[in-house]
Structure 1
Amino acid sequence: MATSPFTQAIGAEQLMLAKMDAMKAHVAPQFVVTANPIDHRIEPSVAPLSFADAVNRVLTQVNAHQSHASDKMTAVELGQSDDLVGAMVASQKASLSFDALMQVRNKVVGAVDEIMKMPV
Structure 2
Amino acid sequence: MKIDTNIQAIALQNKMELMKLQASSDIKSNPIINTQAVSFSDTMNNMVNGINQQQLAAGAKMAAVDAGRSDDLVGAMVMSQKAGLSFSVLMQVRNKLMSGFDDIMRMPL
* TM-score w.r.t. length of structure 1: 0.62
- The reply to whether residue 66 of structure 1 matches residue 63 of structure 2 is no
Cα distance in 2 between the residues matched to 1:46 and 1:91: 37
- The reply to whether residue 57 of structure 1 matches residue 46 of structure 2 is yes
- The reply to whether residue 109 of structure 1 matches residue 84 of structure 2 is no
Q: Which has the higher helix share?
A: 2
Gaps of 5+ in 1: 1-36
* Structure with higher RCO (Cα < 8 A, 6+ apart): 2
- State how many pairs are aligned: 83
- 2:84 pairs with one of 76, 81, 95: 95
Cα distance in 1 between the residues matched to 2:108 and 2:82: 42
> Which position in structure 2 is the counterpart of 1:76?
65
Root-mean-square deviation over aligned CA pairs = 2.2
Quote how far apart the aligned CAs of 1:49 are.
Answer: 1.9
Cα 1:79–1:52, aligned 2, differ >3 Å: closer, same or farther? same
* TM-score w.r.t. length of structure 2: 0.68
Cα distance in 1 between the residues matched to 2:72 and 2:89: 26
> Which position in structure 1 is the counterpart of 2:4?
none
> Which position in structure 1 is the counterpart of 2:108?
119
Quote how far apart the aligned CAs of 1:48 are.
Answer: 2.5
What letter is aligned with 2:40? F
Report percent identity of matched pairs.
49
Q: Secondary structure at the match of 1:82?
A: coil
